[in-house]
């Protein structure tokens, strides 16, 4: 099921056979994605350094900007859309996200349980020489 107009940025006129036009549109698409990514990065730094935004809401704003940044990269640079020919790209992306989630979750879990498994500092091991 293909939806008319459901084409990734940069592929709009590639099917029309317009050589230079499609290249020009592709470059425009990449430059737009770059401008949006730079704008979101600058906004993230501004939010982290300003005191205009209520302090406890700064992490929420940064997460929202990070999700927007990921969306910009997926659409403008990785060309992930809802088109049927992007199924493999979406599956590869989902696998990558799963691997990153498992690594981060496992790391946090190991670090959280490290204290429990370590010897307490109240009972340090004292080495005594043995008499022969």
Question: pLDDT tens digits, the chain, 132 residues: what are they?
Answer: 555 656 666 555 545 555 566 788 888 889 999 999 999 999 999 999 988 888 889 999 999 999 999 989 988 888 887 777 778 878 888 898 899 999 999 999 888 887 776 666 666 666 777 776
Look up tokens 């006129």; give the residue. Answer: 13
- Quote the pTM value: 0.56
Q: Are 65 and 47 in contact (CB under 8 A)?
A: yes
Please report the sign of the dihedral spanned by the C-alpha atoms of residue 113, residue 117, residue 118, residue 122: positive
């Amino acid at each position: 099921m293909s939806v008319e107009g459901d084409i990734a940025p940069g592929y709009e006129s590639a099917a029309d056979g317009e050589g230079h036009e499609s290249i020009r549109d592709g470059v425009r698409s990449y430059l737009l994605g770059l401008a949006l990514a730079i704008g979101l990065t600058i906004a993230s730094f501004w939010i982290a350094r300003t005191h205009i935004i209520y302090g406890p809401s700064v992490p929420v704003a940064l997460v929202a900007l990070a999700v927007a940044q990921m969306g910009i990269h997926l659409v403008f640079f990785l060309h992930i859309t809802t088109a049927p020919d992007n199924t493999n790209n979406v599956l590869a992306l989902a696998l990558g996200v799963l691997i990153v989630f498992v690594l981060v979750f496992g790391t946090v879990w190991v670090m959280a349980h490290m204290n429990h498994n370590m010897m307490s500092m109240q009972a340090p091991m004292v080495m005594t020489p043995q008499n022969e």
